[in-house]
Amino acid sequence: MPRRKVSIIGAGNVGATAAYYVAEKVIADIVMVDVVEGMTQAKALDFLHAGPMRQYDVSIRGTGDFSEISGSDVVVITAGLPRKPGMDRMDLLRVNAEIVKSASQSIAEFAPNSTVIVVSNPLDIMCHVAFRTTGFAVQRVMGMAGILDSTRFRCFVAREVGCAFADVHAMVLGGHGDQMVPLPRFTTVAGIPITQLLDKPVIDRMVERTRNGGAEIVAYLKTGSAYYAPAASVAEMVEAVITDRRTLAPCACYLRGEYGIEDLFLGVPALLGKNGVERSVELDLDKEEMDLLQKSASAVRKGVEDLRTFFRVR
């Protein structure tokens, strides 16, 4: 049986680390594409050389030629620029929207049957760009964010309770920004909601730390942002789609009325399988949780409107 194929557009910190995690689990053959060509070939060769010791024998290629993504089952978009001094949010939006748009055009041309996982920021808005540009079915375009935000929440809960990571499941909905919505009522240790295990001030502190999880790392790094946990989150999603694992995890999905929200990518629980988003799940949110989700949705919608105004993306 031919091996499955994953292409990663943007072989920077997140892209290259995701490639490494995908290789280590022998999930699929990998192509990394980047505009900085030599770097991509170098990383691919370096990964390959580690294969005999790490015991993966997948094919790993680095290239600047976008046509090499042809035949991909999954394409991940991590191409993008970080915000530079003097750039405002709109400048970053414009630069990354153009990068994601051109990546999406290549995907539509060379990998028309693939499922797309968007990682580039601002995440929910970039999902919109990829969705509109590829013209793919809604199930086949999704964004990675909630799975990362909830793994951070999981870490904090496990450390607080003193239990194994594996015992903790966490749920974080909404846009990938400081208005994300960690849900303590839907975060459990061996099935027990943390609201029954921990005091409210402790939970509130963890919720806040989850919201600032990315910023906390940026503050230490100074240049660049987190990539090990983001890359691990990408690999989880890739594996779920490639192996039809039907993982239930929060992802940025295109909403068509769920939670009363239309025509917007936003983080909600989604069942991931061979068709991409097999289905999204509507949780029974209380008023406070729903208000927070709607607030987060409004912030994302504002970004999409800016995009429509400035770049004529539908």
Ligand X SMILES: NC(=O)c1ccc[n+]([C@@H]2O[C@H](COP(=O)([O-])OP(=O)(O)OC[C@H]3O[C@@H](n4cnc5c(N)ncnc54)[C@H](O)[C@@H]3O)[C@@H](O)[C@H]2O)c1
The residues annotated as belonging to the active site are 176
Among residues 5, 6, 7, 11, the one that binds ligand X under rule CB under 6 A:
11
Question: What φ, ψ does residue 90 adopt, rounded to 5°?
Answer: -65, -40
Q: Interface with ligand X includes 203 (CB under 6 A)? A: no
- Which positions from 251 to 290 touch ligand X by CB under 6 A, shown as an x/- string? ----------------------------------------
Given the rule CB under 6 A, which of 52-60, 73-81, 215-223, 242-250 is the region that contacts ligand X? 73-81
Q: Interface with ligand X includes 211 (CB under 6 A)? A: no
Q: Interface with ligand X includes 168 (CB under 6 A)? A: no
- Taking the least distance from each CB to ligand X, the nearer of 66 and 197 is 66
2 three-state secondary structure? coil
Q: How far is the CB of 82 from ligand X (least distance, A)?
A: 6
The residue type found at 38 is G
Q: Interface with ligand X includes 61 (CB under 6 A)? A: no
Among residues 111, 125, 148, 272, the one that binds ligand X under rule CB under 6 A:
148
| Residue 181 CB coordination number (10 Å) | 27
* Residue 232 burial (C-beta neighbours within 10 Å; 0-12, 13-18, 19+): middle
Among residues 27, 48, 76, 79, the one that binds ligand X under rule CB under 6 A:
79
Q: Interface with ligand X includes 93 (CB under 6 A)? A: no
Question: What φ, ψ does residue 219 adopt, rounded to 5°?
Answer: -65, -35
Among residues 70, 102, 212, 275, the one that binds ligand X under rule CB under 6 A:
102
- Taking the least distance from each CB to ligand X, the nearer of 2 and 85 is 85
Burial annotation 81-97 (CB, 10 A radius, 16+ → b, else e): eeeeeeeeeeebbbbbb
CA torsion angle 218 91 174 16 (round to 10)? -50
The residue type found at 176 is H
**CA-to-CA distance for 242 and 255, rounded, in angstroms?**
23
- Taking the least distance from each CB to ligand X, the nearer of 107 and 255 is 107
Would you report the helix, strand and coil content of the chain in percent, each value rounded to 5?
A: 50, 20, 30
Point out which residues bind ligand X (CB under 6 A).
Answer: 9-15, 33-36, 78-80, 82, 96, 99, 102-103, 119-121, 123, 144-145, 148, 176, 224-227, 230
